[in-house]
């Protein structure tokens, strides 16, 4: 029985996953689309014209978001990998406490933390600044990187590095030529997660950036308050593209043989 029902369930699942995209796309290109028409009366690319206006908010938002997300992705991946390696391959005092520290940001809502820390940010001149936003974004992203990379390093065979050292390679060379190629899947997935989380982050950016740092989510949010649906649709589509591009490059690492995501299963 399961055999014949399976395609139906899976089909429904896929349909449900894709449907909202259809909505967004249609709304983004339709004009005067009133209920109950199934398809818009006419089509126009006005939404996209506004979206891609070089002096417009969206382009500015893209640039800001990209800079922040790349910074956050890189920093989080670098320092999170170090921590992940430490957890997977070393024992040290207070290790359990450290692991708890790393996982806690996943449980405590970012809003709570950011509201609390805003006083400090204002004091130290970090609020309303790009640096401040980057710092704030590190809070929800580092835990993911640590989890993914500790999973990756748990499967890592240290003898490769030892072999390199025995052959006379310096620690830097060993890191670059031996370790890095092996853990690249984990790094790729880590960067993906960190980038996407930063890219999508709204409330943290709003609080710390104070509305000065205008990332794409903030722009989209302000459009949502208006009722210019084609603009909302176009902005949404634009918003989705960079993460999807990133996914294209890292998807083989997500559920491949070296599934780095299993690191997320180690609490």
Partner 1 sequence: MRLEKATVPTPFFILNKIKLHKRSSERKATWLILPTFIILTLLFVGGFFFGILQSFGYFSVIDNSSDGISLDAYRVAFSSDVVRSGIILTFRVALLSTLLSTVVALAISLMISRTKRFQSILIAITQFNIPIPHVVAATGILLTFSQSGIISRLAYKLGFIDSTSEFPIITNDPFGYGIILSYLWKEIPFLCILILGALRGPVTQLDETAKTLGASYGYRLRKITLPYIFPSILSGTIIVFAFSFGSYEVPFILGEPYPSTVSVVAYQFYTNRDLAYRPVAMALATITSLVIGLLVYFYMKITQQESRKK
Q: Is 247 in the site for partner 1 (CB under 8 A)?
A: yes
Looking at residues 204 to 223 of the shown chain, list those that interact with partner 1 (rule: CB under 8 A). 217, 220-221
Task: Output 12 or 55, the one with its CB closest to partner 1.
Answer: 12
Give the residue, chosen from 4, 123, 159, 172, that forms a contact with partner 1 under the rule CB under 8 A. 123
Neighbouring residues of 90: CB distance < 8 A, sequence distance ≥ 6: none
Distance from C-alpha of 209 to C-alpha of 87, rounded to nearest angstrom:
33
CB of 6 to partner 1, least distance (A): 5
Query: Looking at beta carbons only, is 1 or 55 nearer to partner 1?
Result: 1
Choice from 1, 38, 166, 172 touching partner 1 (CB under 8 A): 38
Residues 134-193 that bind partner 1 (CB under 8 A): 135-136, 138-139, 142, 146, 192
Indicate the residue among 112 and 172 with the shorter CB distance to partner 1: 112
- Lookup result for tokens 């930063």: 198
Phi and psi of 56, rounded to 5°? -80, 170
Residue from the set 51, 68, 196, 231 that interacts with partner 1 by CB under 8 A:
196
Range in contact with partner 1 (rule: CB under 8 A) among 45-53, 55-63, 76-84, 172-180:
76-84
Measured from the Cβ of residue 89, the count of other Cβ atoms closer than 10 Å reads 12
Stretch that binds partner 1, among 36-44, 45-53, 160-168, 178-186 (CB under 8 A): 36-44
Alpha-carbon distance values, 62 to 8, 43, 69, 70, 77 (Å): 39, 25, 10, 12, 21
Q: For partner 1, which residue of 24, 71, 72, 213 counts as binding (CB under 8 A)?
A: 24
Q: Which is nearer to partner 1, 111 or 167 (CB)?
A: 111
Contact (Cβ atoms closer than 8 angstroms) between residue 91 and residue 126? no
- Give the side-chain half-sphere CA count within 13 A for 162: 4
Taking the alpha carbons of 110, 129, 191, 181 in that order, is the dihedral positive or negative? Answer: negative
E strand spans, the chain = 30-31, 42-43
Residues 95-114 that bind partner 1 (CB under 8 A): 98, 101-102, 104-114
Query: In this complex, which beta carbon is closest to partner 1, that of residue 40 or of residue 55?
Result: 40
Pair 178, 28: CB distance under 8 Å = no
253 lies in the site for partner 1, by CB under 8 A = no
- Please tell me whether residue 29 binds partner 1 under the rule CB under 8 A: no
Which of 201, 223, 217 is CA-nearest to residue 61? 217
- Tell me how many degrees the CA angle 82-87-93 measures, rounded to the nearest 5: 110
Q: State which residue, 56 or 210, has the beta carbon closest to partner 1.
A: 210
Among 63, 74, 82, 177, binds partner 1 (CB under 8 A): 82
Contact 48, 59 (CB under 8 A): no
Question: Do residues 89 and 158 lie in contact, with contact meaning Cβ atoms separated by under 8 Å?
Answer: yes
Does 200 contact partner 1 by CB under 8 A?
A: yes
């Amino acid at each position: 029985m399961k055999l014949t029902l399976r395609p139906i369930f899976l089909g429904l699942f896929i349909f449900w996953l894709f449907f909202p995209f259809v909505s967004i796309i249609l709304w983004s290109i339709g004009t005067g689309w009133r209920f109950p028409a199934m398809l818009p009366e006419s089509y126009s690319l006005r939404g996209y014209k506004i979206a891609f206006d070089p002096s417009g908010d969206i382009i500015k938002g893209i640039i800001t978001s990209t800079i922040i997300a790349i910074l956050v992705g890189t920093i989080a991946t670098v320092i999170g990998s170090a921590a992940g390696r430490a957890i997977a391959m070393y024992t040290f005092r207070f290790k359990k406490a450290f692991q708890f520290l790393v996982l806690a940001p996943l449980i405590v809502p970012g809003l709570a933390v950011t509201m609390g820390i805003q006083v400090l940010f204002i004091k130290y001149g970090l609020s309303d600044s790009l640096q401040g936003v980057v710092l704030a974004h590190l809070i929800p992203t580092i835990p993911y990187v640590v989890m993914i990379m500790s999973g990756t390093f748990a499967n890592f065979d240290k003898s490769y590095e030892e072999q390199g050292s025995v052959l006379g390679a310096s620690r830097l060379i060993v890191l670059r030529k031996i370790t890095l190629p092996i853990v690249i899947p984990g790094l790729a997935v880590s960067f993906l997660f960190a980038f996407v989380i930063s890219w999508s982050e709204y409330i943290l950016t709003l609080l710390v950036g104070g509305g000065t740092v205008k990332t794409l989510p903030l722009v989209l949010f302000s459009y949502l308050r208006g009722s210019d649906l084609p603009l909302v649709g176009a902005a949404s589509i634009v918003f989705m593209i960079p993460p999807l591009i990133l996914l294209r490059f890292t998807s083989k690492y997500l559920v491949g043989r070296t599934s780095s995501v299993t690191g997320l299963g180690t609490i």
